[in-house]
Amino acid sequence: MAECREQFTSRWGLVLASLGMAVGTGNVWRFPRIFANNEGGAFLIPWLFFLFAWSIPLLILEIGMGKKTRMGLIGAFGRLIGRNYSWMGGFVALVTTMITFYYSVVMGWCLRYFFVALSGGLSRFSDAQASQQAFEAFATKGWALLFHLMAIGIGAWVIYKGVVKGIERANRILIPLLALLLL
């Protein structure tokens, strides 16, 4: 019996999920600093080259593999290029898991600053030294772990809810908020 797998209900849902994967925290958080430290335009040219030559094609390939096979990573690699290459899907899953460990910490920091902003406490970060001291005080206490666990919980909840009620619904809120933040 064929297993029924949930899928995106609209192209818009897929586009928002793709934008979320493509933009990523690194482009928002690290890109401006790296751009400024590496001569601006001289950095932008190779960045754009690799964006179009590497990142976008891999994103399209990943979406295509999922659409064609309707399987997870290991099964998709096995079906498309042979069972002997299923390990490649496992490797991609392992790397993704390791990246998630890092980003869940960063997401915890973002949650913390979001709550600080809502409470009107951003004035405490008026200069670099005060900001550094506040961050160190946060990072060395149990609060850092609490916000990290909150980030993991939010991510797990979205995944648990599935494609339509989880990922699509979250993206309808989070991607426009990201666009607003970038303006």
Q: Whole-angstrom Cα distance, residue 170 to residue 17?
A: 9
Q: Whole-angstrom Cα distance, residue 6 to residue 8?
A: 7
The answer to whether residue 73 sits within a structural domain is yes
Band of residue 30 on the pLDDT scale cut at 50, 70, 90: confident
Residue listed under structure tokens 């390791």: 98
176 or 53, which is more confident: 53
Rounded (5°) CA angle 86-168-100: 50
The answer to whether residue 6 sits within a structural domain is no
Q: Whole-angstrom Cα distance, residue 3 to residue 81?
A: 22
Q: How far is CA 19 from the centre of its chain?
A: 10
Band of residue 1 on the pLDDT scale cut at 50, 70, 90: very low
The answer to whether residue 3 sits within a structural domain is no
Structural domain span for residue 147: 13-182
Phi-psi region of 120 (alpha: psi -120 to 50; beta: other; left: phi over 0): left
Question: What pLDDT is recorded for position 3?
Answer: 67
Q: How many domains does the chain have?
A: 1
The answer to whether residue 7 sits within a structural domain is no
pLDDT at 127 over 50: yes
The answer to whether residue 124 sits within a structural domain is yes
pLDDT at 149 over 90: yes
The amino acid present at 127, given as its one-letter code, is D
Q: Whole-angstrom Cα distance, residue 96 to residue 77?
A: 15
The answer to whether residue 56 sits within a structural domain is yes
pTM: 0.78
Mean pLDDT value across residues 86-111 = 92
Average pLDDT over the chain reads 87
Rounded alpha-carbon distances, angstroms, from residue 46 to 29, 49, 84, 153: 19, 5, 35, 37
Question: What pLDDT is recorded for position 39?
Answer: 80
Mean pLDDT value across residues 121-133 = 84
Among 50-64, 83-97, 98-112, the range with the most confident prediction by mean pLDDT is 83-97
Return the sign of the alpha-carbon dihedral for residues 13, 18, 24, 27: negative
Among 23-32, 36-45, 125-134, 156-165, the range with the most confident prediction by mean pLDDT is 156-165
Mean pLDDT value across residues 87-115 = 92
The answer to whether residue 5 sits within a structural domain is no
The amino acid present at 156, given as its one-letter code, is A
The answer to whether residue 64 sits within a structural domain is yes
pLDDT over 90 for what percent of the chain?
Answer: 37
